[in-house]
């Protein structure tokens, strides 16, 4: 019987592990992937985390995990398939058939990529369609690629790809970017990035590999084609509730409803990081959630 099981090992889960160990809790961290760090691992450069300007996302993820391990946190790689716990004992089942019991849970599974849901997207995933520029950009060295989206991630991806690709087409459905001004400044300074305003992607084409995207203008309704060999989709995130969070109240987008105290609708179950309803989804707010959730766990246990 654990005091606390943390599901997920991104910044929120790892921060909760550090705070939980310091609080003397018997805890276990369940992580689905062999590498801890969550979305941070796929971030080329993080420039807004206090005290670590310009750190590479992978290095940051490793630093976070090392910290939790140094505190003695125990990790197990296993995908959670079911969870129950309206009563005092919470039960977590994993894909390898293991069953774990805990007095409290912190859900810190983060968020994943939103799909465009256009013809060709699923078919060409890994064959030209990617959701991670830092992971796959190198495959497109010297080629023409498209990035879809207008947020921080899309703009960051376009800037990153412009360093290795011949040309980067940034396709955005509106006439202004949502991305931070500082990122936009970097983007506008890239000579090989072309912006396609007011355009949506209606399809991704190719035979074995991607060779183009179909664009639809939202202003005049015309359709056109861009020849590209890679399409990087960066249109936001959706919560990784994994199909086992039905017992917890969620908002219309599926995020677990919880305030700054990270309390969900089920006593003893807390939500931390990008998976919970919040205004600002950043590494720093996820890390803060880890601390707040453990404070909630301690209050609940006592
Ligand atoms: P985001 O800020 O939600 O931006 C998503 C973008 O995709 C928006 O421009 C949106 O268009 C567009 N979009 C959404 N659905 C679409 C669709 N079906 N078709 C075409 N375009 C679509 O998401 P994000 O860029 O992934 O960022 C997620 C969070 O991480 C944000 O809070 C961001 O600030 C944070 N982040 C921060 C940093 C940093 O500070 N260094 C780096 C990366 C991410 P509209 O603009 O028209 O809505």
Which ligand 1 atom minimizes the distance to the CA of 46?
A: 41
148 C-alpha to center of ligand 1: Å? 10
Tally the C-alpha atoms within 13 A of residue 135's C-alpha that lie toward its C-beta. Answer: 12
Residue reference for tokens 């219309």: 252
Is the pLDDT score of 134 beyond 90? no
Band (pLDDT 50/70/90 cuts) for residue 45 is confident
Q: Would you state the pLDDT for residue 39?
A: 85
Give whole-number Cα distances, 209 to 32, 161, 189, in Å.
Answer: 29, 19, 31
Q: What is the mean predicted confidence (pLDDT) over 205-215?
A: 97
pLDDT at 48 over 80: yes
With cut-offs at 50, 70 and 90, classify the pLDDT of residue 3: very high
C-alpha distance from residue 37 to each of 43, 121, 129 (Å): 10, 26, 23
What is the model's pTM? Answer: 0.75
What is the whole-number distance in angstroms between the Cα of residue 140 and the centre of ligand 1?
23
For every residue of 253-269, DSSP letters joined together read TSPBP--TT-B-SSTTE
Q: Report how far ligand 1's centroid is from the alpha carbon of 234 (Å).
A: 7
> Does 298 have pLDDT greater than 80?
yes
Q: How confident is the model at residue 96 (pLDDT cuts 50, 70, 90)?
A: very high
Cα separation, 25 vs 17, in Å, equals 9
Q: Which of 3, 59, 96, 135 is catalytic?
A: 135
Q: What average pLDDT does the segment 111-128 reach?
A: 94
Checking if the pLDDT of 44 tops 80, the result is no
Mutational pocket test of ligand 1: of 153, 179, 213, 276, the residue with most ligand atoms within 8 Å of the beta carbon: 153
Instruction: Select from 12, 236, 237 the residue to mutate for testing ligand 1; criterion: most ligand atoms less than 8 Å from CB.
Output: 236
Pocket of ligand 1 (CB under 6 A): 48, 114, 116, 148-154, 156, 173-174, 178, 200, 234-237, 281-282
Angle, helix 57-70 to helix 11-22, in steps of 10 degrees: 20
Pocket perturbation via mutation, ligand 1, pick of 151, 199, 232, 234 by most ligand atoms within 8 A of CB: 151
Do the beta carbons of residue 16 and residue 108 sit within 8 Å?
yes
Q: Which atom of ligand 1 is nearest to the CA of 234?
A: 26
Nearest to 296 by CA among 274, 279, 280, 272: 272
The question of whether 208 is a catalytic residue gets the answer: no
Residue 281: the pLDDT is 87
135 is catalytic: yes
Of the segments 47-61, 119-133, 213-227, which one has the largest average pLDDT value?
213-227
Q: Which pLDDT value is given to residue 87? A: 83
pLDDT band at 186 (very low <50, low <70, confident <90, very high): very high
Sheet holding 144-148, edge to edge: 129-130, 230-233, 144-148, 167-171, 193-196
Cα 247 to averaged position of ligand 1 atoms, centre (Å): 28
Distance 171 CA to ligand 1 centre (A): 13
Taking residues 4-23, what's their average pLDDT? 98
Higher pLDDT, 292 or 42: 292
pLDDT digits (tens, 9 = 90+) for 242-251: 999 999 999 9
- Residue 63, pLDDT > 90, answer yes
Per-residue confidence band for 43, with pLDDT thresholds at 50, 70 and 90: confident
Asked whether residue 266 carries a pLDDT value surpassing 90, the answer given is yes
Select which of 132, 205, 245, 262 is catalytic: 132
Round the average pLDDT of the chain to a whole number and report it: 95
pLDDT at residue 41, rounded to an integer:
84
pLDDT confidence bin for 46, thresholds 50/70/90:
confident
């Amino acid at each position: 019987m654990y005091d606390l099981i943390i599901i997920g090992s991104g910044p929120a889960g790892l921060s909760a592990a550090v705070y939980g160990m310091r609080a003397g809790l018997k805890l276990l961290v369940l992580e689905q992937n062999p590498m801890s760090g969550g979305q941070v691992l796929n971030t080329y450069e993080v420039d807004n985390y206090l005290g670590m300007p310009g750190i590479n996302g992978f290095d940051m993820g490793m630093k976070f995990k090392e910290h939790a391990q140094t505190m003695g946190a125990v990790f197990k790689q296993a995908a959670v398939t079911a969870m129950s716990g309206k009563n005092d004992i919470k039960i977590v089942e994993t894909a390898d058939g293991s069953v774990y019991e805990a007095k409290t849970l912190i859900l810190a599974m983060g968020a994943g990529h939103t799909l465009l849901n256009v013809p060709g997207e699923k078919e060409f995933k890994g064959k030209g369609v990617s959701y991670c520029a830092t992971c796959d950009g190198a495959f497109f060295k010297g080629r023409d690629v498209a990035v879809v989206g207008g947020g921080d991630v899309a703009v960051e991806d376009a800037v990153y790809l412009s360093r290795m690709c011949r040309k980067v087409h940034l396709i955005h459905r509106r006439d202004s970017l949502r991305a931070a001004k500082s990122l936009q400044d970097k983007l506008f300074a890239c000579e090989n990035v072309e912006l396609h305003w007011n355009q949506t992607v209606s399809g991704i084409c190719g035979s074995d590999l991607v060779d183009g995207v179909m664009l639809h203008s939202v202003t005049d309704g015309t359709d056109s084609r861009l020849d590209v060999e890679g399409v990087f989709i960066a249109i936001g995130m959706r919560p990784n509730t994994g199909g086992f969070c039905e017992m917890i109240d969620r908002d219309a987008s599926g995020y677990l409803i919880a305030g700054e105290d990270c309390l969900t609708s089920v006593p003893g179950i807390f939500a931390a990081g990008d998976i919970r309803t919040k205004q600002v989804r950043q590494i720093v707010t996820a890390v803060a959630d880890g601390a707040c959730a453990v404070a909630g766990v301690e209050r609940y246990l006592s």
